[in-house]
Amino acid sequence: MKVLEIIKEVEFMSEPKLGPNGKPLKITDPNKKSKLAPTTGSNWQQKLLSEEAWKLVFYTNGYPNNRPPTRSNIEDFYRRFIIEPAADYPIGWLRNKMQTMANVMLDGRSPEDVVNNIIKDIQNKLGITIGPSWKINDLRGQTVKDVDLVKNFLIMLRADVSSSSSDDQTTKNAPVVPRLDNNAIQGVAMELAQALKDKKGDKVYSVLQSIKPVDFERIADAVPDYFTKGNVRDSSSTFVDKIKANFKDYEDKALLVKIDEQLIRLGVIDKKGNAVILGTDNPFKWIVGFKPGDKINNSTPEKEQAEMVKLSAQINKWKLTDPTDTNENPQLKDLAIWAAPGGTGGEFSQAAMDSFNAEVRKLRTKQKPTPLQVRQVVGLWSKYYYGSIKRSYNTYQ
């Protein structure tokens, strides 16, 4: 769907779009080249991406959550990470803060590399190109990959400039992301089934990444319908079976880990309740005695702490990886040395661990009295600690 159609649809849902000055927002001719927006700040964040581009980045990276970022979230992120940091603020510290608080990954050694990777990420997710002069108006005439995301982003910005109501009211006005209808479910299932048949890991990853948890169960149920022998459905072709069978000997191990992350996000498990793990470089593959759905006993602080210590021992098995084992990633031995206290990356490792601990505390507080699940803890550890130090290691080696 082209953004012009999205804008027209949104216009039926609320008052005319207003700009920051309170006047109607003007949609410019898409054939006209926009002028480079002047930058008033002194840091690279303000110079290399426009304000509206950063807001789209924050919204896009927070959108997969059950509750997309609100107006106040976006404004707070923009103030903290784009306006306030000094020009010489270390990228490493900004990386950890943005990943922990805004779910935005900063990959690269230099500001230019970081921004180029952000631009590529938005291109992959939405099919549009942002930059230092990018404005919402530049969307006109373009086709986007995620219609729901862009529609809700426009509505969120509309509330931002036209309403003085509270954040709660703004959130109520923003529509809940709808479930896909049956035709859309069948379309995604067909696309996913074909990617599995062709063993195209990049396509499988792309489709999984686009699926929202609320829709996944129906999509997974429909996938086997598109694996057939003649006119007879292959009854053994469950989604889990096909995932395992088609990627058993897949060569791109790094892509398998990314597919794993999406499968875990969507709650894909086998008949025994274990997470479906494709890549060897994945902490869910190492833990013994725990299943992703197991609850951490929180009847007393002592019992919760004891179980967390046991779980920690399991997920830290990566440090003991045998580099001679061809089924494991030989890079992990060097990573463990690099990330050890006193090592070259010790500072990054400690910052990443602090981020992980902060996220666990935040989640524990948020869902009390419901106990934490193993899936939640390992997922946070993989993202905020393990994933963070791997990215830092690859960047600074």
- How does pLDDT run across 144-163, given as a tens digit for each residue? 887 778 877 887 765 332 22
Cis link prior to 20 (omega < 30° from 0)? no
Give the pLDDT score at 35. 35
Give the pLDDT score at 29. 41
- Mean local confidence (pLDDT), 113-138: 88
Give the pLDDT score at 162. 29
Q: What is the rounded average pLDDT for all residues in the chain?
A: 75
Give the pLDDT score at 54. 94
- H/E run at residue 275: none
Give the pLDDT score at 55. 92
Distance of alpha carbon 215 from alpha carbon 220, whole angstroms: 9
Residue 80 has pLDDT above 60, yes or no: yes
Using only C-alpha atoms, what is the Rg of the chain?
23
Residue 139 has pLDDT above 60, yes or no: yes
Residue 94 has pLDDT above 50, yes or no: yes
Give the pLDDT score at 6. 55
Residue 128 has pLDDT above 70, yes or no: yes
> Greater confidence, 111 or 159?
111
Distance of alpha carbon 122 from alpha carbon 52, whole angstroms: 13
Residue 40 has pLDDT above 50, yes or no: no
Find out whether 48 and 132 touch, Cβ atoms under 8 Å.
yes
| pLDDT band at 64; cut points 50, 70, 90 | low
Residue 65 has pLDDT above 70, yes or no: no
Give the pLDDT score at 228. 60
Residue recorded with tokens 């970081």 = 114
- How does pLDDT run across 163-217, given as a tens digit for each residue? 233 333 333 333 334 567 778 888 888 888 888 888 888 888 888 888 887 788 8
Q: Show me where the domains of the chain are located.
A: 3-173, 180-252, 280-397
> Greater confidence, 159 or 258?
258
- How does pLDDT run across 349-361, given as a tens digit for each residue? 888 898 899 889 9
- Mean local confidence (pLDDT), 212-228: 79
Cα distances (Å, whole numbers) of residue 1 to 17, 138, 141, 143, 395:
20, 15, 10, 6, 37
Cβ burial of 124 (10 Å; 0-12, 13-18, 19+) is exposed
Give the pLDDT score at 31. 41
Cα distances (Å, whole numbers) of residue 122 to 60, 129, 286, 345, 352:
8, 7, 33, 29, 25
- How does pLDDT run across 291-340, given as a tens digit for each residue? 777 899 988 999 999 999 999 988 888 887 554 454 455 667 888 888 88
Alpha helices in 198-292 (DSSP H): 201-210, 213-222, 239-246, 253-265
